[in-house]
Structure 1
Amino acid sequence: MPLDHPLNSLGFAKPPSQTRVVVAMSGGVDSSVVAAQLAEEGYDVVGVTLQLYDHGAALAKKGACCAGRDIHDARRVAEDMGFPHYVLDYENTFREAVIDEFADSYLAGATPVPCIRCNERVKFKDLLETAKDLDADCMATGHYIQRKMGARGAELHCAEDANRDQSYFLFSTKPEQLDYLRFPLGHLPSKDATRELARKYGLALADKPDSQDICFVPNGNYAAVIEKLRPGAAEPGDIVDTDGSVLAQHRGVIHYTIGQRRGLGIGGLADPLYVVKLDVDKKHVIVGPKEMLTTRTVPVREINWLGDDAFDAVAERHISVKIRSTKPPMEAIVRPLSATTAEIELLTPEEGVAPGQACVFYDNDSSRIFGGGWIWRGY
């Protein structure tokens, strides 16, 4: 049967005015532009902002997502563009689904990435269900990533602008979520293009700075947040070498990360030493030479696979992986151990691979993202 209407810009065969879209609005430039653009195109836009933590206490913190100022900015965009806007109190959900695990992971010697868990467990789960409750056809966000239709349905692809690509933080998006999500900014060539759109729509926040820190971690001070969440967590202990010899004392394992060199208080040695392992049970920060940070093998679990076949349908896959958000993908061989676990062989050894970080899978021959998993064992 022929369609009565051609597909609109969000992929639905009906006029924009009959297409309801919930826009997740953080109060930043990106999501504000998405909401303004869709409203300008005539969509039935509903803006939703999540209050994720005590925004009263967060007002003094600049560059934080979903703080009080951000809620005000999102509301103003909605008023200016003429669509409804709601603020939902998600403090308890956010703490249980994201903050508590963040604290416990750090205490266990891992280096967690709470922004991924927030997308996975809050924005693309609870908020997405809220969008469906509002009878929305889809939910749109300001993330820099692309959703493209392939032979077997929606696929996840890197953003056009590699410098803004957020695929590392969105690898755990499930296929059924991808069916419902839209990312209108993923095709833009740069953040400057987004700001130009903000000026085009007359948004007062066109020049608002990007958020830099994790929203609930002021000034990047992880240890202070952990101490507040888990009193007594920063217990002192020993900095030891790989033979167990005590070199110095530390003020708490939570102050250290794998690969760290500065701030160890063990100067004067012939060769620099790096944190190569954290032993939480013994309260030991273990240090060694730089070469001890190098590894080829990375164990990964909780894998979310976005390929066309079953993840464990083959013995090995030659793809690229990104094991740190700030580094480009590197060639690797993925050997599935089950539907959700694998051993990754890096073709070029890498330094400072840390448990708690993500390992994201990429196609070698296209911009497609095949999902990824979590690095789970220390080195």
Structure 2
Amino acid sequence: MKKSLIAAALLGALAFQAQAEVTIYGVADASITYQYLKTPGHGSTNTVSMDSGTDRGSRVGIHATEKLTDRTQVEVILEDQFALDSGVQQQDDKHLFHREATLNLNTDYGRFGFGRMGTSMSQISSWCVVGPQISAIGPGYGPYSGTSVWFTSGQSQMDNTIAWRSPRFAGFALTAQYSGNVDQTVAGSVENKASAERYASLTGEFKRGALTLLAAVDSHLWASSAAGNPDNSLQFTVGGNYDFGPARLFLAGNYFDHMKLALAAGNPSWYIASGFDDFGLDKAMNYYAKGYGVSAGVSVPLSYGKIGFNATYNKVKDVETANGTAVSGNPEFERAAGTVTYEYPFSKRTTFYVSAGYGEQKMDRATNGGTVKFARALFGIDHNF
């Protein structure tokens, strides 16, 4: 069924080409990864695997534009992500276009977007603002890389979203987003009702020469359920980068309250599974907490390629369940991680990359605790088409 839908979408796009500019594009990314994980009471494990989307997410997309007037353009972006090693849809199999499915209007009054898109905080979709500007390394390198100030979870892609990005004035621009139901595939969720998780954000950006500064505030309005009615989250993020010429420096800081800890299997990039088992937390449950994160990185262009380094430190405390009950033992998490990457462009469309990263995640709890150690080394190649 999905194959026929994709084929129909591609054929429809080609048929529409006579009336609009249509581009079909994609990225193929594959890597070989060695991973080390040591958890309290279980010793260490070593694995080698083929992965997809490490440097850039493997994807197929359709981009269509039509000029309505001299000052107005309509734009459609349909983009899905797949695992190159298996050919299956990556991230989830509930959305035909997981990464983005938007109808956008580009006008003198800004860009208006409607549909499924990434949050402005993320590094995915045409609506991301913060992520690429505060980290020297992309998110595909995972929790071992120290690529993000975030230790917490929320939908990075959202259904039912309305967004606006202002024109740039004197270096300033604003981006606002609201989703009435971030995942409408959740059974029982009703758009703009308490049964659905909703999201709102406002991001300010300033660019002047080599300097980029960002400040953002966002909130997840968590869905009510039989487990409880958790308080809405509030998150503040500041950061930016500066291009010194020989190198670009990235800095960021983040504070959050009542954010969801990323323990569930649906968030594989942000948890060390066996470690949380040892610490006595149930990954099937949702936990909420407050905390902060800081991040620093540098990107250095070379005659042949580019070197990137990023490191983060995160702390999480005041963990509670969905009904507001504090978790016994008052657990606190700390994580420090960092990674280095090297990218070598074989051509304008093909890049070879290598990476190595290491980190430690510590949990203190009255009943138990310990430290998880993790490391990763990999090499891979990606091709744009």
After TM superposition, the score normalised by the length of structure 1 is 0.24
Q: Is the radius of gyration larger for structure 1 or structure 2?
A: 1
* Higher helix proportion: 1
